[in-house]
């Protein structure tokens, strides 16, 4: 249980603020060419972040195994969606001719 709390805290302190900032369009000044479709990358990061609470919170609250398994499956779907969104944003960036 301790490792789940540690993991959830670390993801909340790193991925959540970064994803929110990038989704809001606030890209660091030194990275504008690499993150051209910034909002798409921000949403992808937020989707990947969402897997941590969807997986950890039911287990930490002592939910039934069936409910935990269902939310873990939902977390997997959300993670795949985040990866696809990041891949599509990369393809879009490559199609624009950006490097």
Per the CB < 8 A criterion, the answer to whether 98 and 36 are in contact is: yes
Q: What is the pLDDT of residue 92?
A: 75
Encode pLDDT of 5-54 as tens digits. Answer: 888 898 889 888 888 888 888 877 766 666 556 788 889 999 999 998 99
Query: pTM to 2 decimals?
Result: 0.78
User: Cα–Cα distance between 99 and 30 in angstroms, integer?
Assistant: 14
Phi, psi angles (nearest 5°) of residue 31: -120, 25
Encode pLDDT of 65-99 as tens digits. Answer: 999 999 999 999 999 999 999 899 888 766 665 55
Per the CB < 8 A criterion, the answer to whether 51 and 76 are in contact is: yes
């Amino acid at each position: 249980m301790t490792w789940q709390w540690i993991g959830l805290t670390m993801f909340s302190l790193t991925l959540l603020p970064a994803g929110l900032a990038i989704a809001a369009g606030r890209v660091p000044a030194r990275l504008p060419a690499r993150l051209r479709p910034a909002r798409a990358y921000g949403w992808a990061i937020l989707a990947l972040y969402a897997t941590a609470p969807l997986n950890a919170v039911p287990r930490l609250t002592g939910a039934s195994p069936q409910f935990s398994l269902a939310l873990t499956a939902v977390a997997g779907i959300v993670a795949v969606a985040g990866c696809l969104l990041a891949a599509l944003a990369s393809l879009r960036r490559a199609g624009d001719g950006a490097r």
